[in-house]
Amino acid sequence: MKNNSLGLGLIGCGGYARLNLEALARAKGLHLASAYDLDPAKARETCREFGGTPAASLTALLAAPAVAAVIVATPNSRHCADALTALEAGKHVFVNIPVTLSTDEARSMIARARACRRVLMAGVNHRKNPAVLALQATLKSGTIGVPHLMQASVSFPTAYKLAPGSWRGSAKEAPMLPFSQMGIIALEVALMFWGPPETVSASIAKRDAPTETPDLGAVFATYGDGRIFSMVCSYVTHASYWMTVSGPRGAATWDRIDANSLRVVTGSGEPVRQPFVSNDEQLDELHEFRDCILTHRESGAGAECIYNLAEFYRAIAESITTGRATTFVPWRD
């Protein structure tokens, strides 16, 4: 620990890692101690800009005494192996979502973290978003009545802009791209608000993007009491990022594109729109990670969060393969 600040190691210096780095630069009690990437030039450039020492290998980064914890920002298929290696080396681990699409991998990471007595935390910064929290409070208040239906739409035409060789364009590396890179927030918010569903049905399609990966997806989840969650997600259609929850007395919508706003309409009245200035979500979750390390407690984005999101993907994949609804098997500690 340097000047009462925990040193973090960054594994993977790609595009999304920059969001972690910019938040880390603003963080209190945390600093970048080292960075590693398969491309050494990226690690050197990262450390030139944000501090720390570039590591020649993952082994070297994990052996550095200055590294108390790591951020895993590698491609999805590497998350599990990198997290397990870091945990075994005695490091606390923060992993950007999706942590994994496999329930077997989720269980192995959770078991390893507990055996090593280390924090394992998923990066779910939307849980800190003020509009999401306001939507959750609105549902609990009864303003719209008993919620019956949750609908979501998440899309950007990103598939047309992927750089040649991007792992997101590989069918092997990203077989469920619309769900794992676009729909992931909506899936996680549904779990956050309503918990695990009872059954999941899904479909996926390939349109015209110059990639191997699928472009469009849809999921339909039912709950034991009859509630329904549905979502469409796309890598080839115009920007859309909203979730609406409806009840007999009204509906509430989180729109991330529309100034990160919450719109509530009840009865025959006009919609009431409340825009939110997004707080520093990325910073807030890094501070939670720090606090969990210092107080030796499991994060709220720990085992249950990591496993249930992986189970959503398992159920989606099974439904796509079989063409039938699939039973959701939730986390049991």
Beta-carbon contacts of residue 104 (< 8 Å; ≥ 6 apart): none
| Radius of gyration of the CA atoms of the chain, in A | 20
Partners of 220 in the β-ladder: 201, 230
Averaged pLDDT for residues 145-149: 97
Q: How confident is the model at residue 3 (pLDDT cuts 50, 70, 90)?
A: low
Beta-carbon contacts of residue 295 (< 8 Å; ≥ 6 apart): none
Q: What is the pLDDT of residues 305-315, one digit of tens each?
A: 999 999 999 99
Range of weakest confidence among 119-128, 253-262, 268-277: 268-277
Mean pLDDT taken over the chain: 95
Q: What is the pLDDT of residues 60-82, one digit of tens each?
A: 999 999 999 999 999 999 999 99
Residue 110 above 90 pLDDT? yes
Quickly list H helices, 27-159: 40-50, 58-63, 79-88, 103-116, 130-141
Averaged pLDDT for residues 273-277: 91
Residue 280 above 70 pLDDT? yes
Half-sphere exposure for 168 (CA within 13 Å, toward CB)? 19
In this predicted structure, what is the pLDDT of residue 182?
A: 92
Partners of 36 in the β-ladder: 11
Q: How many CB atoms lie within 10 A of CB 59?
A: 11
Task: Annotate 234-263 with DSSP letters as a single string.
Answer: ESSS--EEEEEEEETTEEEEEESTTTTEEE
In this predicted structure, what is the pLDDT of residue 45?
A: 97
In this predicted structure, what is the pLDDT of residue 112?
A: 98
Query: Which of 71, 115, 137, 108 is CA-nearest to residue 285?
Result: 71
* Residue 168 per-residue DSSP state: G
Instruction: Sort 60 into a burial class: Cβ within 10 Å, 0-12 / 13-18 / 19+.
Output: middle
Q: What is the pLDDT of residues 10-64, one digit of tens each?
A: 999 988 899 999 999 999 999 999 999 999 999 999 999 999 999 999 999 999 9
Q: What is the pLDDT of residues 161-210, one digit of tens each?
A: 998 889 999 989 999 999 999 999 999 999 999 999 999 999 999 999 99
Averaged pLDDT for residues 134-154: 97
Query: Which of 255, 239, 260, 75 is CA-nearest to residue 161?
Result: 239
Residue 1 above 60 pLDDT? no
In this predicted structure, what is the pLDDT of residue 2?
A: 59
User: Which domains are seen in the chain, by residue range?
Assistant: 6-126+281-285 (3.40.50.720), 130-278 (3.30.360.10)
Averaged pLDDT for residues 95-121: 97
